[in-house]
Copies of this chain bind each other. A is one copy, B any other.
Amino acid sequence: MGTKGEGNRQRIIDAADNLFYRRGYNQTSFQDISDATGIPRGNFYYYFKTKDEILDAVVSSRVAEFLAMLKQYEEDTADARERLLLFSNMLYHNREDIIQSGCPIGSLSSELAKDDDELQEISRQVFLLLREWLRKQFETLGLPNADELAMDLLARIQGTSVMACTFKDADFIERSHRDIKEWINLKTMN
Which residues on A are within 8 Å of B, measured CB to CB? 22-24, 26-27, 100-102, 106-107, 109-111, 113-115, 123-124, 127, 148, 151-152, 154-160, 162-163, 165-167, 172, 175-176, 179
Complex Cα–Cα for A165 and B151 (A): 12
In the assembled complex, which residues on chain B have CB atoms less than 8 Å from the CB atom of A172?
A: 151
Candidates B100, B114, B158; contact of A101 at CB < 8 Å: B114
Copies in the complex: 2
Given contacts A111-B111, A113-B107, A148-B175, contact A158 B154 (CB under 8 A): no
> A162–B158 contact, CB under 8 A?
yes
Complex Cα–Cα for A185 and B114 (A): 34
In the assembled complex, which residues on chain B have CB atoms less than 8 Å from the CB atom of A176?
A: 152, 155
In the assembled complex, which residues on chain B have CB atoms less than 8 Å from the CB atom of A156?
A: 155-156, 159
Complex Cα–Cα for A179 and B123 (A): 27
Candidates B101, B111, B163; contact of A24 at CB < 8 Å: B111
